[in-house]
């Protein structure tokens, strides 16, 4: 398992979860959010740009917990609180409808034979993902949300299937 993020300014480092780790709020804060906010966020949003950044993640239990939400309220970056999250739909989250798909396709022809090899390949592929495609996915996000609202919260991927891929 791994954690990574994207924004219009680039990608976070890919972080691998320790084998057998229980990903509770404490682990998520210590092993994911703290290094991400210490290392990636300042790199992607230096200086005054930090005020423009808004952090969003999915509704995994460790993300939605009171402990995590309270930690984020004290962080130096704005975030989308869980009460404002959109429905749990792969049609809406850019990581789901675009980035993970591209990432998986780029990994498809690789054949690592060890866990270390897999991590090395994943890190290499992650670092070379096309930022233009990520930007287009992020740009399409508001329109996707609007379309889902217009469709009463129902899935919209079938409507988008004929549209240009990222």
The sign of the torsion formed by the CA atoms of 20, 21, 24, 28 equals: negative
Answer yes or no: do 100 and 163 share one domain: yes
Boundary residue ending a domain (85, 113, 128): 85
Which pairing describes strands 54-55 and 78-79: parallel, antiparallel, or unpaired? Answer: parallel
Same domain, yes or no: 33 and 92: no
Pairing of strands 15-16, 6-7: unpaired
**Among candidate residues 66, 85, 104, the one where a domain is terminated:** 85
Domain membership of residue 41 as a residue range: 1-85
Domain shared by 70 and 103, yes or no:
no
Q: What is the pLDDT along the chain (166 residues), one digit of tens a residue?
A: 899 999 999 999 999 999 999 999 999 999 999 999 999 999 999 999 999 898 988 888 999 999 999 999 999 889 888 887 766 666 677 888 889 888 988 888 888 899 999 999 999 999 999 999 999 988 988 888 788 788 777 777 767 655 555 5
| CATH code of the domain covering residue 48 | 3.30.420.10
Residues 80, 69: Cα–Cα separation, whole Å: 10
Q: Number of structural domains, the chain?
A: 2
């Amino acid at each position: 398992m791994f954690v990574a993020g994207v924004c219009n300014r680039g990608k976070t480092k890919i972080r691998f979860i320790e084998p057998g780790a229980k990903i509770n709020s404490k682990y998520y804060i210590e092993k994911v959010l703290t290094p991400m906010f210490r290392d990636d966020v300042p790199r992607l949003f230096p200086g005054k740009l930090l005020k423009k950044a808004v952090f969003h993640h999915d509704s995994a239990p460790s993300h939605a917990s009171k402990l995590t939400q309270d930690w984020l309220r004290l962080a130096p970056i704005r975030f989308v609180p869980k009460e404002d999250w959109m429905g749990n739909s792969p049609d809406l989250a850019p990581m789901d409808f675009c980035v993970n798909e591209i990432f998986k396709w780029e990994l498809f022809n690789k054949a690592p034979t060890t866990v270390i090899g897999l991590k090395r390949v994943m890190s290499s592929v992650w670092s070379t993902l096309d930022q233009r495609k990520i930007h287009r996915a992020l740009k399409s996000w508001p329109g996707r949300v609007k379309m889902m609202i217009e469709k009463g919260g129902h899935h919209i991927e079938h409507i988008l299937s004929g549209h240009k891929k990222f």
